[in-house]
Amino acid sequence: MDKTKDGLFTGLMASCAFGLEGVLAAEIRALSMEGVSVSDARVTFSGAMDEAMKANMYLRTADRIYLILSQFPVESFDMLFEGVHALRWAEILSSDAAFPVRAKSVHSRLFSVPDCQAIAKKAIVESLKRTYHSDWFPETGPVYTIDVALLNDIATISLDTSGVGLNRRGYRARTAEAPLRENLAAGLILLSGWRGDKPFLDPFCGSGTITIEAALIGTNIAPGLLRNFAIEGWAQAEPRIWAEEREKAKEGIRCEKPAIYASDIDGDVIGIAKENAARAGVDFIRFLQAPVALVKTEGKRGTIVCNPPYGERTGDMKQVHRACKGLGELFTASGDWTCCALSAFPDFERWFGKQADRKRKLYNGNMRCDYYQYYPNLKKNKTI
Ligand SMILES: C[S@@+](CC[C@H](N)C(=O)[O-])C[C@H]1O[C@@H](n2cnc3c(N)ncnc32)[C@H](O)[C@@H]1O
């Protein structure tokens, strides 16, 4: 079903962590989607229901996928009410649909989020009343979360098609301390350039997130295969199309397994990581309990992607220094290996022993981090 044609939806938007927009846009283009446009923490593109389903199923770095209903300027609550009220809500929401409203406001005159939320809800209810000739909506049916985002006095009204955030792939029942979000882990791997063609290692694997995401990428397992999405419960969704998409995703899985290694100093977290890998269907990852100082890489070429401790929770700076130094030594001893590390520790490069060849600003939740990338051909230079 393509509702873009009759003007109900104006396109799609994928949200993501700050710093991952470029890699998300590349993923969207790789799905042959058109009209891709990048802005802070979001990528917009053309499409409607079918494309939203695909985006939920295949995008590894997105947080959520939204169907955009409308964009209009807002300088007053009246303008917000009128803009929301003008939409054809009864064509989207059945009389029993649940429609929670989520609002946010950045650099806008209307800054009271609870008021924006209440006004938008009232506008939708008033619009539904007219069509359904009823004063009361039980909201017991399928959930359509309505997103009202104000940015620089422009309101974007959209439907959240994902429901639970896309980082929740469904394989992580237990986590170790300071786990990375699954979609950020996938972003780190895609930024490293690794695509399953060489050995891969995370020597600080914790709950295993980075190596599990690498295993999914390396075997082409769709990140959404294990879970459901809000859009699947909607009246407009066609279960047959979903079933076909899931079958197609399963057919795309590669049998050949890349060599993926995961290690951590803590034996308990290795147990958690193994459970998570088994749940994700990637139990070919080879796990080892060892401090980074004792880890050795195999083979001439490969990629390390990791998230070493940075003392955020434990505050143990000696552990942080040991970890960064050990990682630097592992990189130096590892032939033509690339090494990429996400860290919020400001002295990372000094303890690693080398200045990064490339440094990107990324956010782990609200925490500002740097992604340090070291390439093998530059290994002998830049010792600090
Ligand atoms: C920030 S956590 C990694 C979290 C992981 N990316 C995840 O998603 O669960 C850092 C990990 O480094 C481990 N660690 C600390 N010092 C280490 C060392 N010297 N060698 C190896 N692992 C170490 C800790 O046990 C912890 O699991």
CA of 292 to the centre of ligand 1 (A): 9
Residue 285 token pair:
């990852």
Q: Which atom of ligand 1 is nearest to the CA of 290?
A: 21
If you average pLDDT over residues 211-234, what whole number do you get?
96
Q: What is the pLDDT of residue 119?
A: 98
What atom of ligand 1 comes closest to residue 209's alpha carbon?
A: 8
For ligand 1, atom 23, which residue shows the shortest CA distance?
A: 265
Which residues line the pocket of ligand 1, CB cutoff 6 A? 175-176, 178-180, 203-204, 206-207, 209-210, 264-266, 269, 291-292, 307, 309, 319, 322-323, 326
Ligand 1 atom showing the smallest separation from residue 310 Cα: 1
**Ligand 1 atom nearest residue 206's Cα:** 27
pLDDT-wise least confident of 122-136, 175-189, 252-266, 269-283: 175-189
Could you tell me the distance, in angstroms and rounded to a whole number, from the CA of residue 264 to the centre of ligand 1? 6
pLDDT at 379: 58
pLDDT digits (tens, 9 = 90+) for 301-351: 999 999 999 876 666 899 999 999 999 999 999 989 999 999 999 999 999
Take atom 18 of ligand 1 and give the residue whose Cα is closest: 291
Give the pLDDT of residue 5.
41
Cα(220) to ligand 1 centroid in Å equals 26
In the prediction, which pLDDT does 3 show? 44
Residue 242 confidence (pLDDT): 87
How far away, in angstroms, is 205 Cα from ligand 1 center? 6
Q: Which residue has the least CA distance to atom 1 on ligand 1?
A: 309
CA angle at 171 for the pair 68 and 50, rounded to the nearest 5°: 30
Pocket test for ligand 1, best of 265, 320, 342, 367 (most atoms within 8 A of CB): 265
95-108 pLDDT, tens digit per residue, is 999 999 999 999 99
List the domains of the chain with CATH numbers.
11-160 (3.30.2130.30), 182-221+253-378 (3.40.50.150)
Range name among 171-180, 263-272, 319-328, 348-357 with the lowest pLDDT average: 171-180
The mean pLDDT of 47-62, rounded to a whole number, is 95
Atom nearest to 180 CA in ligand 1: 8
Span from the CA of 309 to the centroid of ligand 1 (angstroms): 5
